[in-house]
Amino acid sequence: MAVDLKMNVLIVDDYKTMLRIVKNLLNQIGFTNVDEASDGSEALAKAQQKDYGLIISDWNMQPMTGLQLLQAVRADARLKGVPFIMVTAESKTENVIAAKQAGVNNYIVKPFNAAVLKGKIATVLGDF
Amino acid sequence: MAKAMSRAKAKSKPKPKSSPKRARKISAPTLKKASAKTTASPKPVIDQGLRDGIATLARIMENARRDLAALQANDLRLRDLPGATDELSAVVAATEDATHSILDAVEGIETIAGELAAAQGDAIRNNVTRIYEACNFQDITGQRIAKVVGVLKEVDKTVLGLMEAFGIALDAQAAPSATPAKTGEAALLNGPQLAGAAQDQAAIDALFGDS
């Protein structure tokens, strides 16, 4: 299955440095249409305005967390099928379980490397 | 504080003769009633374990009050704890600025790598990727420091609670108590200053007569 590298990708993190890192790594992989949001509510507003093929989100953000964003996405008729990868420093089993129960497609623990990011995207979207 | 706690712990060890279970279970009202009775009647109506427990509690309270006073809680709440959180916030700001500068430079390098021959360009890009990965540190350290700031705020709340409990007034007007004066070169070693208090190179040049 070929992945459309032109798809819109939404990345969400309250650390601007992390947004830049993820965006640059995505550019290296080949994704060029990358939008940014600094918390769940900003991300949700953007997702409702535009079609995204993938959402990559941090968890611990204010006012709306990544988990709340995931739940809102899964509860939205138009957005519920959007692949969602959590990228977070929360590495406890109960976090992973909670994210899975909310419908996350994959889970990357920080700090992460480019190979892991690419590998998880391939797991979720298919090889590219 | 830790000292006081370990001392309190050591002293609260029940004596082998007394009933530790009972001594530990004394609730506040029981305590009041018991001590009232002791003052009203010369005859001891409570057992030795309970008396020991009360005496231990009184000692712990007195020690804690003395320790809290010695701690100069005023300084802690008005100067030291806010100072510590400011320093930590400055760490986060500094690592963020530096990380953005690194990313600026690396993005520039990556652009140039795209103009080079494939082998050279790839070799450079691989190293660029490693720098991106390493820049994860800013997010991780920032979150860890935010946790420590949270702990300091909890300590602040606890100190305030103890001050209220022991009737030590928080006096914002009070001059900060004199820390033992540093002398010689030690008096000169206080940097780095926080952003508002730091002099820039131009100010140093002016002082140096080198503007």
Write out pLDDT tens, residues A26-66: 999 999 999 999 999 999 999 999 999 999 999 999 999 99
How confident is the model over B137-163, as a mean pLDDT?
91
> B97 in contact with A at a CB cutoff of 8 Å?
no
With contacts defined as CB-CB under 8 Å, which chain B residues touch A110?
136, 139-140
B55-99 residue pLDDT tens:
999 998 888 888 777 777 777 777 888 889 999 999 999 999 999
| pLDDT on residue A64 | 97
Facing A110 at nearest CB: one of B103, B132, B136: B136
Nearest to A21 by CA among A5, A39, A36: A36
Q: How far apart are CA B151 and CA A96, in angstroms?
A: 26
Mean pLDDT of chain A: 96
pLDDT given at position B110: 96
Percent of chain A with pLDDT over 90: 97
CA distances from A80 to A2, A47, A48, A51, B53 (A): 22, 11, 11, 12, 62
Average pLDDT of span A103-126? 95
* pLDDT score, position B182: 84
The model carries a pTM of 0.73
| ipTM score of complex | 0.88
> Which residue of chain B comes nearest to A58, CA vs CA?
B139
B111/A contact by beta carbon, under 8 A: no
Residue B187 has pLDDT above 90, yes or no: no
CA triple A113-A117-A123, angle to 5 deg: 145
CA–CA distance, A69 with A61 (Å, rounded to integer): 10
SS (H, E, C) chain B: CHHHHHHHHHHCCCCCCCCHHHHHCCCHHHHHHHHHHHHHCCCCCCCHHHHHHHHHHHHHHHHHHHHHHHCCHHHHHHHHHHHHHHHHHHHHHHHHHHHHHHHHHHHHHHHHHCCCCHHHHHHHHHHHHHHHHHCHHHHHHHHHHHHHHHHHHHHHHHHHHHHHHCCCCCCCCCCCCCCCCCCHHHHHCCCCCCHHHCCCHHHHHHHHCCC
